[in-house]
Chain A
């Protein structure tokens, strides 16, 4: 295609790249969103875990504190059987209380539970509350049998609490978690977990890429401030969410590919010559140009061949030879014919009505001939414009004639109405003389290649003589095409050719220029 091929490719490339970019951006946004969702999901899980842990811890602390208060109010003599029984009952009822002791001043006098043998006296209390509650957070000083206890004393009793029971491992999955009360570490799971302090971690879920882990912190401020810090290796976090992410990215990539491919296909079709031609037809960009046909004897302008021209948006004019093959393969030839027929009936109407003996030749394709509705349409158009049928002739290529009964009928009909039928490009096909004679024809147009050969020694130069003789024998008038030199015109005139067209007489012209040339030639005659 001579027209806009490179531009078309560039447009397709540009559109595809743009679409790919836009979709990739969309895809990236979606991935980012999913990633955020994964983090939000993590925050939800750990948040729920933290709120359970926090509530449980607070309940445990308050319960212990109240328990100690009730112990001081027991009506039994201290260290009596009833007293110890009451303590025992309370310890057994609570999974986290390991022991309860009764003290006189700083000395444990009696008690129940598992810590009978040893007096635990940490050198420094972590908290002494206004109310008189003393609390010792788990430390080596509160360790008994390898277990660091949380101790609480109020009044004359103390309780030893096993903080491990606060965090159950089940819901943690791959996480490690720690529990801080009043910013003091109460417990962790596993016990030796290396966890950052709550104050070193922002609240919520944080991706700590440097350390390759996901750090979550949730804080709760009830009676006492409670912090929960959970860490998880980035790899296991990734493992948990990778399925969603992978599925989403797979779907996303497929979507991008399909979309890009579809858009490319669509764009290619939109920018294909056929589509462009279809659009040009719809928008009236196919124009008629007129190339004069001159009577060789007189030099009078006896008619013209109507040629289709595509005036592109950028001002370029594309010749019929360039787009007729496209129209042919796309089945658009009838539309081109129609456009080319419509044009003169509009712009040259007056001229055609007034000039008798003037004849416009319009090229018909095999598709036109096969279409039975063509002649009806033509008839209607001629009647509405008032142009007589004899003013319009049709050129049919030798190849289009090699055809069917329908074509034969159309030709007969047209001829019956008064249209002149010419056989175009004669000599380029393989039709024999007898075959040609089976059609009802009026004019034979000699192809430019024969005219070019005039005055040369080539083999073709002799053929034209025979063509002329043959046309005469069939009673056909002859039009020579592509006459460019005066000597060719002379030769043709001398050999009895009636009409000629070519650059010698005038190129294909727009209607206005042609009308002017035709009237000048008339005068010349």
Chain B
């Protein structure tokens, strides 16, 4: 029964992969209960609809928050689910798909957002300082508008799994830090979803102070450690394509490179 309900949805999703997926993202966001009745969306409009998606339900679908310890398995499972549903990039197009997506993110990200490429993964980093008030999980207006642009790109390039990682420095209570990192990541994720990114493409995980980038001994180091990272991984059959391609260039080079 459940399977049968999903089937039309899969057909729709497959068609979207072929024709662009702006609307498909929204279609998937629609909760399964609602998906049963309207199969009417296939004639997708060319541009993503700005209209906010689902009507508020008593059990509103929420972004999945994962405990750090369960992250790997949850991530792999979610990925498999999406790929299994036909939402995947053809293996020989992954490189192109992520290249142009990275370029697009760089184009809109400006100096506020740092874009790093690791293999097929594109990683975005939001510095905590500009994004949140101290100790708060409320997005600043700058962060909101920037994330809206990011969300539009991510919605366009819908064949990826997005993980939002929250990090803090080590000052204060570890439990509070853990909770704060989670809430901040969730705030980012919710904003993305509110701007049209499909709910099931997003995972949230809070790391507290567990994964510092720099030493917490200095203020600069703590500053660097307070951040939210977005990992964007292409949806593809892992049995065919390794996630990491060692020969691929790693951006973020210290030497200044020519730009166009």
Contact in complex: A106, B260 (CB < 8 Å):
no
Among listed A116-124, A260-268, A440-448, interface-contacting one: A116-124
The answer to whether A105 and B20 have CB atoms under 8 Å apart is yes
Instruction: Determine the residue in chain A with the shortest Cβ distance to B155.
Output: A105
Segment among B89-97, B143-151, B181-189 that sits at the interface with chain A: B89-97
- The answer to the question of B100 belonging to the interface, with a C-beta cut-off of 8 Å to chain A, is yes
Q: Does B46 contact A (CB under 8 A)?
A: yes
- Taking a contact as CB atoms under 8 Å apart, the answer to whether A182 and B258 are in contact is yes
| Contact pattern, B 66-98, Cβ under 8 Å of A = 1, otherwise 0 | 000000000000000000000001001111110
- Report chain B residues within 8 Å CB of A457: none
A171 within 8 A of B: no
B219 within 8 A of A: no
Cβ contacts under 8 Å, B96 to chain A: 106, 121-123, 125
Please tell me if A129 contacts chain B, counting CB pairs below 8 Å.
yes
Closest 6 CB pairs of A and B: A132-B107, A123-B95, A121-B96, A125-B99, A133-B260, A104-B20
The prevalent SS among residues of A at the interface is loop
Cβ of B99 and Cβ of A128 under 8 Å apart? Answer: yes
Q: Determine which of A65, A79, A128, A224 lies in contact with B103 in the assembled complex, contact meaning CB atoms within 8 Å.
A: A128
- Interface 1/0s, chain A 81-96, versus B by CB < 8 A? 0000000000000000
Smallest Cβ distance from A130 to chain B, in angstroms?
5
Number of A-B contacts (CB under 8 A): 93
Tell me which of A103, A104, A155, A224 contacts B260 (CB under 8 A): A224
Contact assessment for B102 and A128 in the assembled complex, using a CB-CB cutoff below 8 Å: yes
Q: Are A132 and B20 neighbours in the complex by a CB distance under 8 Å?
A: no
B248 at the interface (CB under 8 A from A): yes
Q: Given A65-B260, A122-B96, A131 and B106 touching (CB < 8 A)? A: yes
Q: By the criterion CB–CB under 8 Å, are A103 and B95 in contact?
A: no
Give the chain A neighbours of B251 by CB distance below 8 A. Answer: 128
Prevailing SS type, chain B contact patch: helix
> What bracket does the count of chain A residues touching chain B fall in?
20 to 34
Query: Using Cβ atoms and an 8 Å threshold, which residues of chain B touch A131?
Result: 106-107, 259-260
Q: Is A78 an interface residue (CB 8 A)?
A: yes
A322 within 8 A of B: no
A130 contacts B106, CB within 8 Å? Answer: yes
Interface centre among B93, B100, B158 (most CB of A within 10 A): B100
Kindly name the residue among A79, A121, A122, A153 whose own CB sees the greatest number of chain B CB atoms within 10 A: A121
Q: Nearest chain-A residue to B256 (Cβ)?
A: A130
Contact between B259 and A106, CB atoms less than 8 A apart:
no
Residue A154 is within 8 A (CB to CB) of chain B in the complex: yes
CB of A61 within 8 Å of the partner chain = yes
Contact B95 A124 (CB under 8 A): yes
Residues of B within 8 Å of A133, CB to CB, are 103, 259-260
Residues of A within 8 A of B117 (CB): 128
The 0/1 profile, CB within 8 Å of B marked 1, for residues 178-217 of chain A is 0000100000000000000000000000000000000000
Q: Check: B125 CB closer than 8 A to any chain A CB.
A: no
25 contacts between A and B (CB under 8 A): A65-B260, A78-B46, A104-B46, A105-B21, A105-B100, A105-B158, A106-B89, A106-B157, A109-B20, A121-B92, A123-B95, A124-B95, A124-B99, A124-B248, A125-B95, A125-B96, A125-B100, A125-B103, A128-B117, A129-B260, A131-B259, A132-B103, A134-B99, A134-B103, A153-B100
Once the chains bind, are A123 and B107 in contact (CB under 8 Å)?
no
Cβ-based interface call for B216 (8 A): no
Chain A positions 114-164 with a Cβ under 8 Å from a chain B Cβ? 121-125, 128-135, 153-155
Chain A residue at minimum C-beta to C-beta distance from B48: A104
A225 located at the interface, meaning its Cβ lies under 8 Å from any Cβ of chain B in the complex: yes
Q: Which of A79, A103, A130, A225 contacts B100 (CB 8 A)?
A: A103
For residue B170, CB closer than 8 A to chain A, the reply is no
Find chain A residues with CB under 8 A from B107 CB.
Answer: 131-132, 154-155
- Whether the pair A107, B20 counts as a contact (CB closer than 8 A) is yes
**A79 neighbours in B (Cβ, 8 Å):** 46
A416 within 8 A of B: no
Minimal beta-carbon separation of B257 from chain A (angstroms)? 8
Min distance, Cβ B216 to any Cβ of chain A, angstroms: 30
Q: Contacts A124-B99, A132-B107: A223 and B46 contacting too (C-beta < 8 A)?
A: no
List residues of A (57-115) whose CB comes within 8 Å of B's CBs: 61-62, 65, 78-79, 103-107, 109
Q: How far is the CA of A104 from the CA of B159 in the complex (A)?
A: 13
Question: Which one of B19, B100, B105, B260 contacts A223 once the chains associate, using CB atoms below 8 Å?
Answer: B260
What residues on A are CB-neighbors of B95 within 8 Å? Answer: 121-125
Any A CB within 8 A of the CB of B194: no
> Which residues of B lie under 8 Å from residue A105 when comparing CB positions?
20-21, 97, 100-101, 156-158
Q: How does the 8 Å CB contact mask read for B146-189 relative to A, with 1 for contact and 0 for none?
A: 00000000001110000000000000000000000000000000
B7 close to A (CB within 8 Å): no
Does A121 lie within 8 Å of B106, measured CB to CB? no
Q: How far is the CA of A225 from the CA of B255 in the complex (A)?
A: 15
Contact B93 A106, beta carbon cutoff 8 Å: yes
Given the complex of chains A and B, what is the CA–CA distance between A125 and B245 in angstroms?
13
Interface check B211, CB cutoff 8 A: no
B83 CB to nearest A CB, Å? 17
Query: How far is it, in angstroms, between the C-alpha of A62 and the C-alpha of B94 when the chains are bound?
Result: 28
A130 CB contacts on chain B under 8 angstroms: 106, 257, 259
A380 to B104, CA, bound (A): 120
In the complex the two chains form, is A132's CB within 8 Å of B104's CB? Answer: yes
Contacts of B103 in A (CB 8 A): 125, 128-129, 132-134, 153-154
Task: List residues of chain B with CB within 8 A of the CB of A78.
Answer: 46
Which residues in window 52-67 of B have CB below 8 A to A?
none
Look across to chain B and name the residue whose beta carbon is closest to the beta carbon of A181. B258
Name, among A62, A105, A131, A133, the residue most crowded by chain B CB atoms within 10 Å (CB to CB). A105
Are B97 and A223 within 8 A (Cβ)?
Answer: no
Least distance between A140 CB and chain B CB atoms (Å): 13
Contacts of B93 in A (CB 8 A): 106, 121
Residues of B within 8 A of A224 (CB): 258, 260
